[in-house]
Amino acid sequence: MSSRMAKQSYEQSIHRMGRIWMSAAMLLILAVPVAISVNLNTWPGLSPLLAGLLPILMIYVPIGIIEVITFSPMLGSGSTYLAFTTGNLTNLKVPCALNAMEIVDVEPGSEDGEIISTIAVAASSLTTNLVLVIGVLLFVQLAPILSAPILQPAFGNILPALFGALGYLYISKNWKLAVVPLTLMVLVFFVVPTAPVGILIPISALSAIAAARYMYMKKLI
């Protein structure tokens, strides 16, 4: 079998497998509130349910769709199916996959990148799962330590701590690509410091793509 055919066969099977697992995950998480309602013999009325759900849907439906469009080309197919089932994408799975691809020197979006990214997200999901299980088992012992006031500045600044290092790594390699989106984002956040990052990620990505396309056409990169 040629390598192109082998790649197509892998692509086909990963999409089939991904759709089956993603559908199963959706059924499973839907079964949770159903089981709770049956067990407690209490079903939510339509109006309180809609009152709680509508504001959330208005924000998180666009974010959910945007996340898929933005992250899936970086992660690859297998990794996307797994990362979106296990969650915590921007704060964990995407940086984790990026870091793994950087460490083993494979290009994001390449065939090897797809393999490494899937291995990284699987390792990350298993680790988080284990940490949460330990957290549940040792709740009484861990709660006072993790919520100790002295540690709060550390946990409150986990995203700057993560993206500072990741930013240096990627921007030092692609500084020309970073000029436009970084300037734009700094300006936006200085004007509106509480702007939701989830909404701004696609705007930042689009500005980076537009600048990259311009520089590519002008042979500046």
Partner 1 sequence: MGDYRNSAFMFVLGGLVALFVTVQSVVFLKKAWGEGQKRGMPVDKMRKAFVSSAVFTLIPSLSILLTMLTLAGGLGLALPWIRLSVIGAITYELPAAEAAAQAMGTSLTVFDMPVSVFTVIAWVMTLGIMSGPIFIIVYLKKLQGRVNKIKTEDNRWGALLISAMFVGLISSFLGSSLAGGLISMLTLFSSALLMFLFVQLEKKASIKVFKDFALPVSMVGAMALAILYYGFLGR
Residue 95, CA atoms < 13 Å, CB-side half-sphere: 16
Q: Supply the minimum distance, in Å, between the C-beta of residue 198 and partner 1.
A: 7
One character per residue 73-92, x = contact with partner 1 (rule: CB under 8 A): xx-xxx-xxx-xxxxxxxxx
Cα–Cα distance for residue pair 62/146, rounded to 1 Å: 33
Six-digit token string for 36: 């709770």
CB of 12 to partner 1, least distance (A): 9
CA distance 10 to 5: 9
Among 2, 5, 141, 212, the residue binding partner 1 under the rule CB under 8 A is 212
- Determine if 23 is a binding residue for partner 1 (CB under 8 A): yes
List binders of partner 1 among 98-117 (CB under 8 A): 98-101, 103-104, 107-112, 114-116
Q: Measured from the CB of residue 126, what is the shortest distance to partner 1 in angstroms?
A: 5
d(CA 155, CA 132): 16
CB burial of residue 182 (10 Å; 0-12, 13-18, 19+): middle
d(CA 185, CA 182): 5
Four-point Cα dihedral 92, 96, 162, 177, nearest 10? -110
Question: Is residue 65 involved in binding partner 1 (CB under 8 A)?
Answer: yes
Q: CB of residue 210 vs partner 1: minimum separation in angstroms?
A: 9
Residues 28-47 that bind partner 1 (CB under 8 A): 28-30, 32-33, 35-37, 39-40, 42-44
User: Does residue 220 bind partner 1 (CB under 8 A)?
Assistant: no
Q: How many residues bind partner 1 (CB under 8 A)?
A: 159
Residue for token digits 């692509």? 11
Binding mask 138-177 for partner 1 (x = CB under 8 A): -x--xx--xx--xx-xxxxxxxxxxxxxxxxxxxx-x--x
Closest CB 112 distance from partner 1, rounded Å: 6
Is 214 a binder of partner 1 (CB under 8 A)? no
Please report how close the Cβ of residue 81 comes to partner 1 at its closest, in angstroms: 7
Q: Which one, of 116, 108, 122, lies nearest residue 74 by Cα?
A: 108
207 in Cβ contact with 181 (< 8 Å): yes
- The contact mask relative to partner 1 for 3-22 (x = CB under 8 A, - = no) is x--x---xx-xxx-xxx-xx
